[in-house]
Amino acid sequence: YNGCLKCLPKLFILLERNDIRQIGICLPSCPVGYFGVRNPEMNKCTKCKIDNCEACFSRNFCTKCKEALYLHKGRCYSSCPEGFAALNGTVECSSVVQCELGEWGSWGPCTKKGKLCGFKKGTQNRTRESLQPPLAEPSLCPPETENRT
């Protein structure tokens, strides 16, 4: 009449309300909007308690927000906090850190019009690697190549 009262050790019990009646259901994983809590006595599905959260990892850490909201550090917001932005069409706020570049390499050989050595006014160049690609506008990044006479 009341459904399950206890589940097998690997399953979670979900208590569904139907007016004043509760029905227990045994599930291999908790449905969206709930998270699983494992205990020696019985594993339970517990409802997410975070505002505007669609799926959560624990009582106070959201993993997916309701539509048109942005996820930041386990919470849902109507827009990303200052210094953060939802990049590449995602709904997760990421730090708007500018690109990070490595150390400069050594200067290359002196060249002029693509030919090596023996020129008084040739140029040398050197490069550096991008350690973190630009998250926002690539033109805001410092140069990755440099030339000198």
What are the tens digits of pLDDT across the range 57-73? 888 899 999 988 999 99
The domain 1-47 having CATH identifier 2.10.220.10: the answer here is yes
Average pLDDT score over the chain:
83
Q: Check residue 85 and give its pLDDT.
A: 82
Q: Tokens representing 13?
A: 């019990």
Per-residue pLDDT tens digits for 20-65: 888 899 999 999 889 999 988 899 999 888 889 988 988 889 999 9
Report d(CA 53, CA 77) in Å as an integer.
10
Q: Tokens representing 147?
A: 């030339």
For the chain, the domains span 1-47, 102-131+143-148
Report residue 132's pLDDT band, with 50, 70 and 90 as the boundaries: low
Q: Sign of the C-alpha dihedral, residues 93, 94, 97, 99?
A: negative
Query: For strand 61-65 and strand 70-72, is the pairing parallel, antiparallel, or unpaired?
Result: unpaired
- Which residues face 18 on adjacent strands? 21
